[in-house]
Amino acid sequence: MSDNPFDPALYRDEAVSAETKAINDGIVQLTEGIEDNWDIGPAEARARRERGEGPFPLPPLSPRAKTRTIDTPAGKLELRIIAPDNPKGAYLHIHGGGWTFGGAAQQDALLERIADNTGLAAVSIEYRLAPENPYPAAPDDCEAAALWLAQNAKAEFGSDFLTIGGESAGAHLSAVTLLRLRDKHGFTGFKGANLVFGCYDMRMSPSARSFGGRKLILRTKDVEEFRRCFVPADADLEDPDISPIFADLKDMPPALFSVGTQDALLDDSLFMHARWVAAGNKAELAVYPGGAHGFIAFPGQLAESGLARIDRFLNEVQA
């Protein structure tokens, strides 16, 4: 695979490996015959997921994980922490799920890997979910957690070296959190941002609008429904706190943008990477042929390549 994200060959069908094609076909087959989340509703979809009734097995919980509860302006907030011995710093993690699904406890394998391969304490936020808690609840929780970490990382982990990142909605919330800390608190102390197949434009980018109905994790309909759950009907979709692609992105940390070519949010990463660089920040763009939304969670060489690139990025920003 070419390391040049602007190589047209990366985006052609022949660049997709047989293994990746088989994984994608398997995902579609698994999801075609089940009830749609939007037909049963987010609450019931969450409940079924918790009971292990969805198309994908529940990830195992780590015996190493600890829960820390902090006080925020909105009340108590839980942080799930997996830390190595003698951490080199902290990685503030924000999980995905369209601001509507998911949870910090569903990311333990990823958090263990980051702790073991980078030496950073992984701290994942149990932010409030939509539609029960729409915008600005999740960004408020992430802002509060980031402030707590900035103030307490040295005492908690022996180092004030900070990074941030997340997947899908978590990448969106990571970008929003960085902007809020800069603009509201004058803090630009995060040294790296790991932004994985994020959504940065709530108007919906061209790839999100045109993806269609193939059940490869994230369809056009899903993007629309997630937006409806998260964003109030009267909100300004070009508000940088909602669509960070419209923000002034100066003084952002080095970032790694990772995305697959068969992701409805492909354009979000392509466009946001360009804006990040145009604002004078360092940024890398990693594009994975055939990668579906969420591809790093599935087995195979493509996922391992993406995870290894994330490991390398988080180690390089510590150098």
* pLDDT at residue number 1: 55
Q: For the residues 97-104, what does the mean pLDDT come to?
A: 97
Q: How confident is the model at residue 102 (pLDDT cuts 50, 70, 90)?
A: very high
Please state the rounded mean pLDDT for residues 38-66.
92
Q: What is the pLDDT of residue 53?
A: 86
As a whole number of angstroms, the distance between CA 95 and CA 127 comes to 9
> 1-31: per-residue pLDDT in tens?
568 999 999 999 999 999 999 999 999 999 9
Summarize the confidence of residues 166-194 as an average pLDDT. 98
108 pLDDT higher than 60: yes
* End-to-end C-alpha distance for the chain, whole angstroms: 26
Express each pLDDT in 263-273 by its tens digit: 999 999 999 99
pLDDT tens for residues 277-290?
A: 999 999 999 999 99
DSSP state letter for 130:
T
- Work out the mean pLDDT of the chain and round it to a whole number: 97
Question: How far is Cα 244 from Cα 319, in angstroms, rounded to an integer?
Answer: 28
Q: What is the pTM of this model?
A: 0.97
Using one digit for the tens of pLDDT, what is the confidence trace for 24-39?
A: 999 999 998 889 999 9
pLDDT tens by residue, 59-91 = 899 999 999 999 999 999 999 999 999 999 999
The CA distances from residue 282 to 16, 172, 176, in Å, are 28, 18, 18
- Whether the per-residue pLDDT at 52 is higher than 70: the answer is yes
Are the C-beta atoms of residues 92 and 191 closer than 8 Å to each other?
no
pLDDT of 215 above 70 = yes
pLDDT score of 59: 87
Cβ 175 vs Cβ 272: under 8 Å: yes
Predicted confidence band at 297 (pLDDT cuts at 50, 70, 90)?
very high
Number of neighbours of residue 13 by Cβ within 10 angstroms: 10
Give the span between the Cα atoms of 121 and 160, in whole angstroms. 11
List the single range of 45-59, 147-161, 266-280 with lowest mean pLDDT: 45-59
Provide the token pair at 87.
């951490």
Q: What is the pLDDT of residue 181?
A: 98
Q: Per DSSP, what are the bridge partners of residue 260?
A: 288
Q: Are 24 and 292 in contact (CB under 8 A)?
A: yes
pLDDT number for residue 103: 97
Structural tokens at position 230: 């998260």
pLDDT reading at 196 higher than 80: yes
Mean pLDDT value across residues 93-102: 98
The pLDDT value recorded for residue 16 is 98
